Amino acid sequence: MFRLLVYLRLYPHIFFTCNCFKIHEFYKLLKGIEFTGDEIILDLGCGSGLQTLLLGKRCKKVVGVDVSEKSIIDAKSKLLYLQTINCKFMCTKLEDAQFDNESFDKAFSFCVIEHISNYYEVLREAYRILKKNGQMIFSVDALETIDDERIREIHRKRGRVERYFQKQELKNILEEIGFKKIEVSAICKSTFAQKIFTKRNIRVTKKFRYGFLRSILAYVILLYYEYQYENSDKGLFLIAKCRK
């Protein structure tokens, strides 16, 4: 219970999202990452800007980029109520944004890379615009615990997923680009996570919604089961952390 209360205090985003996986993903991505408060941070594929603004509370400036005009409009509307955060949203592809070399201290991305067909070019561009020893922290779909090809294909089509990544494959890609101190780990490894994911994707005829209270309860249960599977190598998603 104490551990849960700590999470609630440190990661208030759980009050704004109705997806237990996104709650867990955000916590795992930020775990062990140090913020000085002076960083300039990139959020690649920022969507409607929730995670971008949460990152903005920890840094000097945050820039969110996304190719969806609607998402950027939604993101900018949030800034009207959070003017204390130094944040800029841009509707563009990363490779078209024309950022200067070594513009960012950190680059984050929350399950976006798997939706990009030219993911290698995008990761290489992220490497270029990171400062020396800058950090790249991101998540991708893996679905290594889903054996049912029907579920994998449903998720691929509904989520417009270009590819699923594997741990060693992702390490090799990052090494080839030039990243160092690469750590890739699986999350959402339990049978409970697998069950929720499968249930969500079976409901093809209508959009699946967790609901606020159900998502919080599911998150608590997910933490319990994930602890039992902490030594497992396979999960629904992969977390990658590396440095330039």
- Tens of pLDDT, residue by residue over 173-200, are 999 999 999 999 999 999 999 998 998 7
Q: What is the pLDDT of residue 78?
A: 82
Q: What is the pLDDT of residue 115?
A: 96
How far, in whole angstroms, is CA 221 from its chain's centroid? Answer: 21
Q: Tell which residue, 24, 69, 80, has the closest CA to residue 46.
A: 69
Query: Which residues of the chain carry a pLDDT beneath 50?
Result: 1-15, 204-210
Q: DSSP state, 116?
A: -
Question: How many Å apart are CA 40 and CA 78, to the nearest integer?
Answer: 20
Q: What is the pLDDT of residue 18?
A: 65
- pTM listed for this prediction: 0.87
**Which helix (H) or strand (E) covers residue 129, if one does?**
helix 119-129
Q: What is the pLDDT of residue 219?
A: 82
> Hey, what domains does the chain have and what are their CATH numbers?
2-243 (3.40.50.150)
Q: What is the pLDDT of residue 213?
A: 65
